Structure 1
Amino acid sequence: MDRDLSAARDLAATLAAAAGRLQLERRDTLRVGAPKAHANDVVSDVDIASERLIVDGLTEAWPGDAVQAEEGHGRPGTTGWTWVVDPLDGTRNYISRTGPWSVCIALYQGDEPRAAVVHEPVAGETFSAVAGGGALLNGTPLEVPDGPPLTSSLIGVSFQPNVATKTRAGRVIDALLPQVGDIRRLPAALNLAYQAAGRLDGGLALDTNLWDIAAGALIAREAGVILGGREAEFTTELTIGAAPSLWPALAELIRTADA
């Protein structure tokens, strides 16, 4: 079944912006629920309301599509198309007011990502992409610049905050810090989107879920970021990204540290 990918991207951007406005409006009155997988895996009533807003909008437009959504509003489909939704990537930042978060929506045809949106509500920035059509920031094309030498690079770091992954991340960061210019810890989607915009020279994400990285990965790749993992393809276990000139050195460093 054919799909107008530009129209799909534009609707996803509209829904992501609407969810972002809801998040800003309700930040002072949010209620935090019980942790999910572990003590640091928090969720708020705003996460749930945001996801419902997005899924309702997608379902109205394409009722036969499947939805895979973090907070439980997913459903099977009949068209071969699947929407992957993280309504609020960076909930801990959102709740604690200590950093950025984003709204993430990706569209897959089978196993292939075809369109993506990552919206940062505070800055009012919408990163987006259509497969084969490049990446945009608020409508302006993105193209990754050549990276600096490893020793002056700025690297984004994302990881699940469970005990096992924090221990793993500690080993990788211990190897990274003496070799790079500096690091920044960010939610996974913005890590990838900021690489697409050239704000970060590279990055890594450990033990994510598909909804954490699906949208950001397509945007990064369409902007020219090189992506991989332990092997040529990235996975939710390990995602490495870098500007082309930085990729060989950064990938080797991370793979060696995470062996």
Structure 2
Amino acid sequence: MNSLSGSLSTPLSDSLSATGETAEFAAVLERAVAALKTAGQLLLERYDVSARHGDLDGIVRAIHANDEAVLPLVEQPLLEARPGSRWVEDELAGGVLPGGEWWVVDTAEGNINHIHGMGEWAVTAALVRDNTPVLAVVHVPLTGDTYTALRGRGAFLNGEPLRVSAKTDLKAALVGTGQAKPGETEEALRRMGASVTAMLIDALVVRVSVPATMQLIHVAAGRMDAFWQFSDVRSGLLPGALLVSEAGGTVTDTDGEPWSLASGDFLASAPGVHTQAVDVLSARA
């Protein structure tokens, strides 16, 4: 896969619009949005702002309970929306997928926030064809907002076009990163910490939070200017990667090289600050 910039930087003949698939995928997108909204409503009913978990066992049980409750509402509807597609069982595992079409879904992106009564969580889905994201939906139940993208057809918030930031100076940029998952190696965590320090020096403000998708929708909407992550967590990156690229952003690894499911690092940014962000992350992180 080539780097993602402005749109997926592959030949026009590979885009949905050029192959006559736009209407077909638009119908899949509509069904995906409906499924995620249904799932989001259930999560909203399970949401408790006063929730507090006292130990790790309670946290793990609550996370699994959310996933188990939501999964039946999205798995079958999405598979039926795209006959022949398959389901990625472990949305956290990185690396390339076998050929064909795969659904990469997070039934509760930001689950840790949801179960602690915090606000940043969503339901997300990406349809990946031959390791290229072609469709993305992010539904945020607390606000009712739905972010969508089709490859080559743009990114949208509630039907209105999204556009990344026009900033050109990293010194004026709001950037972010976060822990991809529990259990990262000490080396990975130290690298993340070093990258935060580097960006604190060179950017305006650095946000460190989870989940990745909630920061990536801000990049796609132009509210934030860059997001990076030292991880290959599929579910947190794929929907956001397509949304940012279709909103005119640039998606690479942290060295500025083409990003794919085989990449270990991830960077999505407004084009005007991308080179500066790469310089900071590759030189000092």
What TM bracket, shorter-length normalisation?
Answer: 0.7 to 0.9
Q: Are 1:145 and 2:176 an aligned pair? A: no
Shift of 1:42: 7.6
User: Match for residue 178 of structure 1?
Assistant: 201
- Aligned pairs for 1:223-238 (under 5 A) are 223-229=247-253, 230-235=255-260, 237-238=264-265
Aligned to 1:55: 75
Alignment correspondent of 1:219? 243
TM-score (norm 1): 0.86
Q: Distance in 2 between matches of 1:35 and 1:117?
A: 31
Matched, 1:248 2:275: yes
Runs of 4+ in structure 1 over 6 Å off: 29-32, 39-42
Alignment of 1:1-259 (within 5 A): 4-28=24-48, 43-70=63-90, 80-160=100-180, 161-164=182-185, 165-184=188-207, 185-229=209-253, 230-235=255-260, 237-258=264-285
Structure 1, unpaired ranges of 5+ = 73-77
- What is the CA RMSD across the aligned residues, in angstroms? 2.9
Distance, in Å, in 2 between the alignment partners of 1:43 and 1:239 is: 26
How far the C-alpha of 1:41 sits from its partner, in A, is 11
Q: Which runs of 5+ in 2 are unaligned?
A: 1-18, 93-97
Asked if the contact 1:120–1:126 (Cα under 8 Å) also holds between the matched residues in 2, the reply is yes
Does the 8 Å CA contact 1:51/1:71 hold for their aligned counterparts? no
Contact in 1 for aligned 2:63/2:115 (Cα 8 Å): no
Contact 1:69 1:211 in 2 (8 A): no
AA at the equivalent of 1:234: W
Distance 1:251 1:197 in 2: 21
| Cα drift, residue 247 of structure 1 | 0.8
What is the rounded CA distance, in whole Å, between the counterparts of 1:190 and 1:18 in structure 2? 19
> What SS does the corresponding residue of 1:251 show, helix, strand or coil?
helix
CA contact (8 A) 1:30 1:44 kept: no
Aligned identity (percent) is: 30
Return the structure number with greater relative CO, CA threshold 8 A, min gap 6.
2
